[in-house]
Amino acid sequence: MFDDTRRIITSTLDTQDIEMENNLRPKTMDKYIGQDKLKEKLLIYIQAAQNRGEPLDHCLFYGPAGLGKTTLAHIIANQTNKRIVITSGPAIERAADLAAVLTNMAEGEVLFIDEIHRLNHNVEEILYPALEDYALDFMVGRGPSAKSVRIPLSHFTLIGATTKAGKLSQPLRDRFGIKAKLEMYTPEQLAIIVNNSAQVLNIEIDQQSTTEIARRSRGTPRVANRLLKRTRDYAQIKGKGIIDIDITRYALNNMEIDELGLDNVDKAILYAIIDKFNGGPVGVESLSAMANEDVATIEDVYEPYLLQLGFIMRTPRGRVCLESAYKHLGREMSEWAKKQQNASSQDDE
Ligand X SMILES: Nc1ncnc2c1ncn2[C@@H]1O[C@H](COP(=O)(O)OP(=O)(O)OP(=O)(O)O)[C@@H](O)[C@H]1O
Binding to Mg ion (CB under 5 A) within 299-318 occurs at none
Tell me which amino acid residue 33 is. I
Contacting residue, 8, 9, 33, 98, with ligand X by CB under 6 A: 33
Active-site choice (25, 71, 114, 226): 114
CB 270 within 8 A of CB 287: no
> 114 catalytic, yes or no?
yes
3-class SS of residue 111:
strand
- Give whole-number Cα distances, 42 to 46, 179, 339, in Å: 6, 10, 46
Q: How far is the CB of 290 from Mg ion (least distance, A)?
A: 28
The site string for ligand X over 223-242 (x = CB under 6 A, - otherwise) reads: --x-----------------
> 297 catalytic, yes or no?
no
CB 69 within 8 A of CB 300: no
3-class SS of residue 69:
helix
Contacting residue, 221, 261, 279, 280, with ligand X by CB under 6 A: 221
Binding to ligand X (CB under 6 A) within 91-130 occurs at 114
CB 110 within 8 A of CB 76: yes
Sign of CA dihedral 321, 322, 323, 329: negative
Picking from 25, 158, 8, the residue whose alpha carbon sits closest to that of residue 88 is 158
CA distance 130 to 109: 14
Q: How far is the CB of 65 from ligand X (least distance, A)?
A: 4
Q: Which stretch binds ligand X (CB under 6 A): 66-74, 101-109, 206-214, 327-335?
A: 66-74
Q: How far is the CB of 241 from ligand X (least distance, A)?
A: 23
CA distance 51 to 259: 49
The site string for Mg ion over 66-85 (x = CB under 5 A, - otherwise) reads: ----x---------------
CA distance 315 to 199: 43
Contacting residue, 10, 46, 55, 69, with ligand X by CB under 6 A: 69
- Chain positions contacting Mg ion, by CB under 5 A: 70
- Chain positions contacting ligand X, by CB under 6 A: 11, 21, 24-26, 32-35, 65-71, 114, 161, 163, 193, 221-222, 225
Kindly list the catalytic residues.
69-70, 114, 163, 222
